[in-house]
A = this chain, B = another copy of it.
């Protein structure tokens, strides 16, 4: 969710500015999290705020592309929520509101993510992709720009293009009509 479909950056920019009186530029936090900046780690406590996740903006094109994906794939939303107990209901409500075409049956709220079995995972964190056994798609975020081990997706239009190709490859006539092969 966070930094893939839900944009936490604007809210952290606000929090940082309220604390330090300075609106960060993108170059200021490239390579890390905003709370990784000097003397700013305590700002991470805001993730425990019950309303932190309630009104995050949707990442550009994610809603439209995820809805398109649900027409071709069995799509789950897997998110690390458990460190922040107060985020559980806020994240549930955020998903229901912003991605209403995905059933609650497809929500997975977890701590670690090593248990997942799937064909593809789109994630911004390298450590989640490291242990994944399917195809690993790294969604670009300011903290992962140096990462080179995974298939990088810079935005949701690139994801759509990627999956259009995957579908095209898997829909060759011989496969679509196996009796002809």
- Residues of chain A touching chain B, judged by Cβ–Cβ distance below 8 Å, are 76, 78, 81-83, 85, 88-89, 92-93, 103-112, 115-118, 133
The interface residues of chain B lying within 8 Å CB-to-CB of A92 are 82, 85, 88
Copies in the complex: 2
**B133 with A117: CB separation less than 8 A:** yes
- Determine whether the beta carbon of A111 is less than 8 Å from that of B107: yes
Contact B110 A109 (CB under 8 A): yes
**What's the Cα separation between A93 and B111 when bound, in Å?**
15
Q: Which residues of B contact A111 (CB under 8 A)?
A: 103-108
Residues of B within 8 A of A109 (CB): 81, 88, 107-110
Residues of B within 8 A of A85 (CB): 89, 92-93, 104
CB<8 Å pairs between A and B, sample of 20 = A82-B105, A83-B104, A85-B89, A88-B88, A88-B109, A89-B89, A104-B111, A105-B111, A106-B111, A106-B112, A107-B110, A107-B111, A108-B108, A108-B110, A109-B109, A109-B110, A115-B117, A115-B118, A117-B117, A117-B133
Q: A82-B104, A85-B93, A89-B89 are in contact. List 20 more A-B contacts (CB 8 A).
A: A76-B115, A78-B115, A82-B92, A85-B92, A88-B109, A103-B111, A104-B111, A105-B112, A107-B110, A107-B111, A108-B108, A108-B111, A108-B115, A115-B115, A115-B116, A115-B118, A116-B116, A116-B117, A117-B117, A117-B133
Give chain B residues whose Cβ lies under 8 Å from the Cβ of A103: 111
Q: How far is the CA of A108 from the CA of B108 in the complex (A)?
A: 7
- Closest B residue to A85 by beta carbon equals B92
Q: How far is the CA of A82 from the CA of B108 in the complex (A)?
A: 8
